[in-house]
Chains A and B, each alone.
Chain A
């Protein structure tokens, strides 16, 4: 049994993870008057030192390709904000035979919000009652109307640009003015108009006006590198600092949570963690625990918190922890657009990412698959980088002045399209503890099982067909398709980095882990505040909803604290 020193510090809340969910919870809880200790598995972030915004490739010896060229052609090169990767040394995960799930993890203050795409889309009214609409999956225990006020709060606080459009099931939000379209977007918009595909200003967590002391975007297109002026949203620069400003926030960095400790009274009372610097195990005490380590990492922590009464993992009497794992359906195709060769040289950078996008334009229509997808696209003359000319070199071949000129004439003439669609949970896609493997901290690792359903494969085929139609309608020619030779049109599971659903909410404790307030059915002072509670994974990137839900969960937690019910 736990030996408790009479002088031990007990915080009101321990938050595990500092990303979109953990950061939001820290801000709301500390501003609500509670003391918070946050465990972060990576180091603190120092933007002024860690970010490479505005650095030219020739200012780095490796030109962005990193040691031995290992980041060449990868998402996230040397310029990216500190962000982790698909593999973390000493912290493996495994796949069951026949599965190839990809898991992107960040071990740094702010987590994946330091480099994320800043795409900030509200889920729609229909997304919360998907089963009622088409009979598949499940409904959420909350409605759009219940979460909408929290979308308002998040957007007002973080700053999101966009436009009021009234697109069915893609709700408008509280928006700053959107930026002007680039030439690539002008071309695609015209083609979409011809094809009756909705193409509207994108919705991104990037400031086009100053907000709370953060200056507006200065249009360098380098959001992924991290923004020195905090003109885009990251948890580390926008959520964590106000939490510290309350004087009630403590962060323990390099702390790998190992186990949530259950007290004799059936409530959690502490979190055990490995101090990565000393390799010692330590423990923090709190009256409530908010798990926000990212969907799969949070599931892993619950599964590893095995105790009497919870032999299959903490709060897991339903057996649902790790189940219902989904990622977005991803597919991509790019085209060459000769008209871009004749555009006079100009600054094409803009914000980091797309200024326009295509929300799902066939909602409520009869299609040969359920649910829908949105389309992201981008191209044109961005800052040249390593591997950018592999395509033209392979196509043109040869050498000499002719090759040099060909590289110049084709530079910036390509536009890539990427679909992001909804996956319906299936019983063959889940994560569990690998019984044989532990990581360098001695913690059992996750083993993934993955299988796309027929609906997802049909959707990916539809994406490919649509991309082709748009490229051709815009006067382009198709150049490169999805690079996923193993899986055909559809990207590998996990590779879109929208994995979620592993600790889901629900009204039925036999089929869900959390109630409608993201509070564990089994353990009343245990909450989850990342994307693990999501019941569906609609065609909208999850981050904005992570924050809205975490905000709501935190306000409910504050209420309970005020009533003395923790």
Chain B
């Protein structure tokens, strides 16, 4: 595979260098561009799949995955945030962002802390009903207005929800779930299809 890629890359490189040297306009013909994208695609899809968390380790990694999946779970239509790679995405960015290390790393500890206070267990060891009870509290801003003790949890969950949505809806399955069609080479743009009332 890598040899094959290498030779294709050479072809492509030769093609683009030839263009730069000979042609007035520095552009790649449509077919060559399509070919280039195909090469990139193949390269990306052969990347190693095993992921070692960079910031969230041990229990925190499991807790992060559980929360991502709770936010955008698998359903009848498609898989959820974990299959979509949201935890890996969040871990990578957090490992590079001290502010998120505090907000997300601290948020996970806060969540385990409140679960131990109320249910004498860490979040992942709580029953499904207990997990739902606590998530229902931190998933809505109005709860923090009623009970100020929830303020950090609500802020943490809002950030995690945004980042989980990032991870899910920028994944292959997330994009398919939304029904986005595009990112293609079209010869003609057809415009708006006939829609009654539009």
Binding site for B on A (CB under 8 A): 47-48, 53-59, 61-65, 67-70, 72, 179-183, 185-187, 212-215, 217-222, 227-231, 236-238, 240-242, 245, 339, 342-351, 381-390, 393-394, 397-401, 403-404, 407-408, 411-412
Q: Does B166 lie within 8 Å of A389, measured CB to CB?
A: yes
B interface residues, how many (CB within 8 angstroms): 67
B34-61 residues with Cβ-Cβ distance < 8 A to A are 36-37, 40-41, 44
Residue of B28, B75, B92, B97 near A401 (CB, 8 A) is: B75
Residues of A within 8 A of B177 (CB): 404, 408
Q: Which residues from 152 to 198 on chain B have a C-beta closer than 8 Å to any C-beta of chain A?
A: 157-158, 161-163, 165-172, 174-175, 177-193, 195, 197-198
| Chain A residues within an 8 Å CB radius of B185 | 218-220
Candidates B40, B178, B190, B193; contact of A59 at CB < 8 Å: B40
Q: For A397, what are the chain B residues with a Cβ–Cβ distance below 8 Å?
A: 139-141, 158, 161
Residue of A nearest to B88 (CB): A61
Indicate if B105 sits at the interface (CB-CB under 8 A).
no
User: Given contacts A67-B96, A69-B97, A69-B100, are A214 and B27 in contact (CB under 8 A)?
Assistant: yes
Contact A346 B193 (CB under 8 A): yes
In the complex the two chains form, is A383's CB within 8 Å of B165's CB? no
Cα–Cα distance between A393 and B141 once the two chains are bound (Å): 12
Contacts of A350 in B (CB 8 A): 189
B151 within 8 A of partner (CB):
no
Q: Taking CB as reference atom, which chain A residue is nearest B12?
A: A48
- Point out the residue from A64, A215, A384, A390 that lies within 8 Å of B30, measured CB to CB: A215
Known: A48-B12, A58-B171, A387-B162. A230 touches B85 (CB 8 A): no
Majority SS at the chain A contact face: loop
B166–A63 touching, CB < 8 Å = yes
Tell me the nearest residue of chain B to A61, going by C-beta.
B92
Instruction: Indicate if B10 sits at the interface (CB-CB under 8 A).
Output: no
How far does the alpha carbon of A541 sit from the alpha carbon of B46 in the complex, in Å?
A: 44
How many A-B contacts if CB must be within 8 Å?
A: 231
Q: Does B72 contact A (CB under 8 A)?
A: yes
Q: Which residues of A contact B195 (CB under 8 A)?
A: 183, 339, 342-344
From B18-26, B107-115, B119-127, the one touching the partner chain is B18-26
* B177 nearest CB neighbor, chain A only: A408
Question: Of B24, B161, B187, B192, which is within 8 A of A213 by CB?
Answer: B24
A54 to chain B, nearest CB (A): 5
- Report the bound CA distance from A342 to B198 in whole Å: 10
The answer to whether B162 touches A393 (Cβ under 8 A) is: yes
Known A-B contacts A56-B183, A69-B93, A397-B139; A241 and B36 likewise in contact (beta carbons under 8 Å): no
**A–B Cβ pairs within 8 angstroms, 11 of them:** A58-B172, A63-B170, A69-B97, A185-B192, A186-B192, A220-B182, A222-B183, A229-B33, A241-B26, A347-B181, A393-B162
List the A side residues contacting B24 at CB < 8 Å.
Answer: 212-213, 241-242, 245
Contact A220 B165 (CB under 8 A): no
A349 touching B183 in the complex, CB below 8 Å, given contacts A63-B89, A228-B33, A408-B177: yes
B25/A404 in contact, CB under 8 A? no
Instruction: Out of A241, A385, A401, name the residue touching B25 (CB < 8 Å).
Output: A241
Residues of B close to A236: CB separation below 8 A: 26
**Residues B170 and A403 in contact, CB atoms below 8 Å apart:** no
- C-beta contact mask, B119-151 vs A, less than 8 Å → 1, else 0? 000000000000000010001110000000000
Given contacts A218-B186, A347-B190, contact A384 B180 (CB under 8 A): yes
| Chain B residues in 8 Å Cβ range of A68 | 93, 96-97, 100
Q: Contact: A59 with B182, CB < 8 Å? A: no
The distance in angstroms between the C-alpha atoms of A347 and B192, with both chains bound, is 9
Flag if B198 contacts A229 (CB, 8 Å): no
Separation in Å of the A218 CB from the closest CB of chain B? 4
The minimal Cβ–Cβ distance linking A179 to chain B, given in whole angstroms, is 5
Closest to B185 in A: A218
5 residue pairs, one from A and one from B, having the closest CB atoms: A180-B191, A230-B27, A68-B97, A68-B96, A57-B170
- B198 A187 Cβ-Cβ under 8 A: yes
Residues of B within 8 A of A180 (CB): 189-192
Answer whether residue B29 sits at the interface, using C-beta atoms and an 8 A cutoff. Answer: yes
Nearest-neighbour CB distance to chain B for A382, whole angstroms, equals 8
| B175 / chain A contacts, CB cutoff of 8 Å | 56-58, 383-384
**Contact between A182 and B30, CB atoms less than 8 A apart:** no
Distance in angstroms from A514 CB to nearest chain B CB is: 31
Closest CB-CB distance, B88 to chain A, in whole Å?
8
- Pick the residue among A61, A67, A383 that contacts B183 (CB under 8 A): A383
CA distance A58 to B167 in the complex (A): 9
A residues near B97, Cβ cutoff 8 Å: 68-70
Q: Across the interface, do A347 and B25 meet the contact criterion of CB distance under 8 Å?
A: no
Check B161 against A393 for contact (C-beta < 8 Å). Answer: yes
- Once the chains bind, are B169 and A53 in contact (CB under 8 Å)? no
The interface residues of chain B lying within 8 Å CB-to-CB of A241 are 23-26
Beyond A72-B166, A220-B184, A397-B141, 15 additional contacts (C-beta under 8 Å) are A48-B36, A59-B41, A62-B93, A185-B192, A215-B30, A227-B27, A343-B195, A346-B193, A349-B184, A388-B165, A393-B161, A403-B71, A407-B169, A411-B169, A411-B179
Q: Which residues of B contact A245 (CB under 8 A)?
A: 24
Return A2 CB to nearest CB of chain B, in Å: 36
Nearest CB in chain A: distance from B162 CB, A: 5
B158–A400 touching, CB < 8 Å: no
Residues of B within 8 A of A345 (CB): 179, 181
Which of B26, B72, B100 is most buried by chain A, counting CB atoms within 10 A of its CB? B26
A229 engages B165 (CB within 8 Å): no
A180 to B192: give the CA distance in the assembly, Å.
8
Chain A nearest CB from B10 CB (Å) reads 13
Interfacial chain B residues near A218, Cβ < 8 Å = 30, 184-187
Q: By the criterion CB–CB under 8 Å, are B85 and A407 in contact?
A: no
The answer on a CB contact under 8 Å between A214 and B165 is no
Which residues of B lie under 8 Å from residue A342 when comparing CB positions?
195
A347 close to B71 (CB less than 8 A): no
- From B70, B71, B182, contact of A221 by CB (8 A): B182
- CB-CB nearest in chain A for B193: A346
Give the residue name and chain of the A residue nearest to B174 (CB): A384
Whether B140 pairs with A403 at a CB distance below 8 angstroms is: no
Q: Is the CB of A401 within 8 A of B166?
A: no
* A343→B177 CA distance, assembly (Å): 16
Measured between beta carbons, the chain B residues less than 8 angstroms from A63 are 89, 166-167, 170
